[in-house]
Amino acid sequence: MKIQTYRTFTLSLCKGSVFLMKKIILFVIFYSVLITIKAQNLVPNWSFEDNTQCPNSGGQINLASPWYSPSASTPDYFNQCGTTGYQSLNVWGYQIARTGLAYSSVCVYGSTSSSIRDYIQAQLLDTLIAGENYCVSFYVSHAGMSSFFNTYMPIVISEIGMLFSNNPITSSNYLPFPYTPQIVSPTGTFLSDTLNWMEISGIYTALGGERFITIGNFKDDANTDTLHLIENGLDPQGYYYIDDVSVINCNDTLSSVNEIVNQYDFKLYPNPNNGQMVLEYTLEKNEEAVLNIYDIAGKLISSYLINSNNKSIAINENNLDAGIYYYSISVNGKSVKSDKLVIIK
């Protein structure tokens, strides 16, 4: 994909690779678990929440320190902070963060004169130990189509990967890195979901000394399995959002896997709905939660206080127009769930 400038956006592309690791463990990791000693996530700023300042244009992944672009390309960073919200910056499509209020993005395919790629890279909190197994996961969501794709043909690919390395890998150009990631999504299974976050996970046995991770598509266009969402004869482009990156020693994870449960069990239904819905939940005594509903631009519409005395609360948003919204739930000030809300009339 060509580097294009659009509303101060500098956009590029990237992709995943060959070495398929067997997907063994599927698990949900909540914020409170990730920071425990038993199951320490070695990925700093794993949900991209921390930033040196709110993003105000595209290509600002470096604001989510210590994440950065290791090549000349400029992956994007979206955070629901500040006055504009991330949707005003997101010309590729629409998505809410899987955890918290932020996520990153990479372009994974571009076939004009060359295969242009985005990558995001970070240094782990500690060096991997030789012979130890590490449970690895991250989540992606396809950007889908927006009015921006009047200029491009949206592409879905089947492989996005994570590379472990002892030292940072860098490049002064936009081309694919000539490496094979150790963790990669299954070949032949297209990552096409635009509504939900798709997990890419596996177990990596460390050689020892690995300290850096790099995420993206490591194949060139000719060797990338693609699916065209539409056939319009335009320049093909592929773009994915990334959230919740984790690298955890499997011994720690397995010893505490029974503790990794959704103790709150929030369920908002029906969804879609006409503005009438119910939130069911479980809270510990004296815990307090807040449900916030936002419009697509990130403007707060309604807030509902949730206490532990009840197990459900009726939500009435009959005044909302038909369309896509999103909600987030926090417990004692910590975000525990966020998802889309579809209103139909």
pLDDT for the residue numbered 144: 75
Can you tell me the distance from the alpha carbon of 227 to that of 142, in angstroms, rounded to the nearest whole number?
Answer: 12
Q: What is the pLDDT of residues 2-14, one digit of tens each?
A: 233 223 333 333 3
195 three-class SS: coil
Q: What is the pLDDT of residues 148-169, one digit of tens each?
A: 545 566 788 989 999 999 999 9
Mean pLDDT of 233-239: 71
For the chain, where are the E strands, in sequence order? 4-6, 9-11, 76-79, 102-110, 119-123, 133-142, 152-157, 161-165, 183-184, 198-205, 212-216, 226-228, 235-249, 267-269, 276-280, 288-294, 300-307, 312-316, 323-331, 334-343
Given pLDDT bands bounded at 50, 70 and 90, which one contains residue 29?
A: very low
Best CA proximity match to 171, nearest among 9, 11, 14? 14
Question: Positive or negative, the Cα torsion across 333, 272, 145, 180?
Answer: positive
Mean pLDDT of 212-239: 81
Domains (range + CATH), the chain: 4-258 (2.60.120.260), 262-343 (2.60.40.10)
Can you tell me the distance from the alpha carbon of 102 to that of 248, in angstroms, rounded to the nearest whole number?
Answer: 21
Helix (H) or strand (E) holding 251: helix 250-256
Given pLDDT bands bounded at 50, 70 and 90, which one contains residue 276?
A: very high
Instruction: Output the pTM of the full model.
Output: 0.65
Distance of CA 298 to the CA centre of its chain: 17
Q: What is the pLDDT of residues 305-321, one digit of tens each?
A: 998 889 999 999 999 99
Given pLDDT bands bounded at 50, 70 and 90, which one contains residue 233?
A: low
Give the residue, 167 or 111, on which the prediction is more confident: 167
Q: 34-48, 50-64, 154-168, 186-200 — which is least confidently predicted? A: 34-48
Question: Positive or negative, the Cα torsion across 103, 229, 181, 116?
Answer: negative
Structure tokens at 212: 């850096």
Q: Which amino acid is it at 33?
A: V
Given pLDDT bands bounded at 50, 70 and 90, which one contains residue 284?
A: confident
Given pLDDT bands bounded at 50, 70 and 90, which one contains residue 345?
A: confident
With 0-12 / 13-18 / 19 or more C-beta atoms within 10 angstroms meaning exposed / middle / buried, residue 160 is: buried
Give the residue, 325 or 119, on which the prediction is more confident: 119
Given pLDDT bands bounded at 50, 70 and 90, which one contains residue 238?
A: confident
Q: Judge whether residue 250 has pLDDT over 70.
A: yes
Mean pLDDT of 198-218: 94
How many CB atoms lie under 10 A from the CB of residue 303?
9
Distance of CA 250 to the CA centre of its chain: 22
Best CA proximity match to 123, nearest among 12, 71, 46, 182? 46
Can you tell me the distance from the alpha carbon of 37 to that of 160, in angstroms, rounded to the nearest whole number?
Answer: 30
